[in-house]
Amino acid sequence: MSTSDPNNVRVAVIGAGMSGILTAIRLQELGIEFSVFEKADRIGGTWRENTYPGLSCDVPSHAYTYSFARNPDWSRWYAPGPEIQAYFQKVADDNGVTELVRFGDEVTSLEFDDGAWELRTAGGYAGRFEAVVAATGVLHHPNVPDIPGLERFAGACFHSARWDHSVPLEGRRVGVIGTGSTAVQITTALIDDVEQFTLFQRTAQWIMPGDAKVFTDEEKAAYRDDPGKLEQFVAQVKDSMRVGISQAVIDADSVQLRKIEHLCEKNLNTVRDPELRERLRPTYRAACKRLIFSPDFYDAIQKPNAVLVTDPIERIEPEGVRTRDGVLHRLDVLVLATGFQVDRFVRPIRVIGRDGVDLNDAWADGPLAYISVTVPGFPNFFMLNGPNGPVGNFSLIDVAELQLNYSLQLIEALRDGRCRELSPTPEATAAFEAERRAAASHTVWSSGCNSWYLDRDGVPATWTFSWDRFCEEMNAPKWEAFSLR
């Protein structure tokens, strides 16, 4: 890679998913020397790892695109997973990123020493980089539930993010544990193919009636022929998300949240059997857990071969799942749609910052970052979609683009010789964290439910301010919040 800065700042990008591809493209444009490390054998991150039936994005497709690579050809309002994977592959190929990625070599450790990070991989590579961008994703490490007897199940059993496509499903008894976005998508995809579909629900979910729109060839052609029209449509979709959801999630008293609640309630009322309807009714407010969008979940769960089990799971036996009421639910296949360990971020990579401090120790009380991007004591280290960033059905592409723009401004200070080391001050980080936690009490996430948004103290580990505030913060770093050496 060519480089134009006198200080020869080299950047290590960890991960070649959505945010890693983005980072590589931008670094290339700026003429900054970089290497991309990817542990798998192809790009794609979450869209490579998740291949479960029904996989799709619950953020409208046109809002889930890079600002510099709009896609007039999305097939549906919510694009299917393989189409999204193909989009990222195409963007990476078109921008010459794929050929630059070091595939199949997992980064195992990062150690900061004298103005640079020593990076090591499982394959034995060692190199020095002045800055690191951790593009390692969020929903990455499967959460395998600690249910007694799980290992004794005689049929096929796998996590939703590790789908075993060699296992036949047609005409078989399939059970799914979980009722998050993943389980809902699997339910609607499999219901017509399997003999019996059993959904084990620990907590009911509010479900918004998702849009099943399929884009016509004429619409796609119109967007292809007129980029201005496409851009206008993208802006319109994003605006409606911002107005409809962003205010709702951070203000539990908002009109927008009431509207969401009303729509979810109306959707639930389409369930004909009153007993089933009540078992599907959550006991907390809509959007407290991540809102699920599905045009056909309630149809699927009302089909004759669908069984909704709400009795708690007692244990797994070789033949199936035994619930507390003593019933054995016999199954051939058991899917764990039980979510992810969401507090890992860049870990399990061993990250040792200034003065030998281990990130595991710095984060002993939970992941902490200044405005979601940087960590005190870990200089020249930038996280995309890191701790406490915006969640709540936003496009994580938009989040990553803004965070990268912010990080690049900080990296510029290394390039132009203003400093060799840069990290947020503990004071600025503590002040931000105190403000963030105070704002959390007004959000819907704190309104009385359990979700993966909450940290171990029950405080939302999210961006608890408005989307506009996030854009503002990412626009330009507040230099007084950083220590430059």
Window 5-44: contact mask with ligand NAP (x via CB under 6 A): ----------------------------------------
Q: Which helix (H) or strand (E) holds 429?
A: helix 426-440
Q: Name the DSSP letter for residue 119.
A: E
- What span, in angstroms and rounded, lies between the C-alpha atoms of 180 and 290? 8
Window 129-158: contact mask with ligand NAP (x via CB under 6 A): ----------x-----x-x-----------
The stretch near ligand NAP (CB under 6 A) out of 103-111, 176-184, 380-388, 399-407 is: 176-184
Beta-bridged to residue 460, according to DSSP, are 454
Q: Which two tokens stand for residue 16?
A: 């070649």
Which residue, 230 or 316, has its beta carbon nearer to ligand NAP? 316
Which residue's Cβ has the minimum distance to ligand NAP? Answer: 180
Torsion sign across C-alpha atoms 317, 323, 325, 329: negative
Cβ contacts of 399-405, under 8 Å, gap ≥ 24: 399/470, 400/18, 400/19, 400/22, 400/135, 401/22, 401/66, 401/67, 402/470, 402/471, 402/474, 403/372, 403/373, 403/474, 404/19, 404/22, 404/23, 404/26, 404/133, 405/474, 405/475
Q: How many helices (H) and strands (E) does the chain have?
A: 14, 23
Q: How far is the CB of 391 from ligand NAP (least distance, A)?
A: 7
The stretch near ligand NAP (CB under 6 A) out of 56-64, 120-128, 206-214, 439-447 is: 56-64
Asked if 343 is part of the footprint of ligand NAP (rule: CB under 6 A), the reply reads no
Number of residues that bind ligand NAP (CB under 6 A): 25
CB 36 within 8 A of CB 16: yes
Residues 6 or more apart whose Cβ sits within 8 Å of residue 163: 50, 51, 52, 53
Asked if 450 is part of the footprint of ligand NAP (rule: CB under 6 A), the reply reads yes
User: Could you give the 3-state DSSP secondary structure of residue 472?
Assistant: helix
Beta-bridged to residue 107, according to DSSP, are 121
Which residue, 139 or 286, has its beta carbon nearer to ligand NAP? 139
Q: How many CB atoms lie within 10 A of CB 225?
A: 10
Options 60, 339, 379, 386; binder of ligand NAP; rule CB under 6 A: 339
- What span, in angstroms and rounded, lies between the C-alpha atoms of 184 and 43? 26
The stretch near ligand NAP (CB under 6 A) out of 165-173, 217-225, 335-343, 457-465 is: 335-343
Asked if 53 is part of the footprint of ligand NAP (rule: CB under 6 A), the reply reads no
Which residue, 58 or 118, has its beta carbon nearer to ligand NAP? 58
Asked if 202 is part of the footprint of ligand NAP (rule: CB under 6 A), the reply reads yes
Window 216-255: contact mask with ligand NAP (x via CB under 6 A): ----------------------------------------
Q: How far is the CB of 186 from ligand NAP (least distance, A)?
A: 9
Residues 6 or more apart whose Cβ sits within 8 Å of residue 120: 107, 108, 109, 110, 126
Options 337, 346, 383, 439; binder of ligand NAP; rule CB under 6 A: 337
Which residue, 251 or 311, has its beta carbon nearer to ligand NAP? 311
Asked if 61 is part of the footprint of ligand NAP (rule: CB under 6 A), the reply reads no
- What span, in angstroms and rounded, lies between the C-alpha atoms of 25 and 28? 5
Options 17, 72, 178, 390; binder of ligand NAP; rule CB under 6 A: 178
Residues between 68 and 127 with contacts to ligand NAP, criterion CB under 6 A: none
Residues between 393 and 432 with contacts to ligand NAP, criterion CB under 6 A: none
Q: How far is the CB of 46 from ligand NAP (least distance, A)?
A: 8
Q: How far is the CB of 210 from ligand NAP (least distance, A)?
A: 10
Question: Phi and psi of 100, rounded to 5°?
Answer: -95, -10
Interface positions with ligand NAP (CB under 6 A)? 56-59, 139, 145, 147, 160, 177-183, 185, 202-203, 290, 313, 337-339, 450, 452
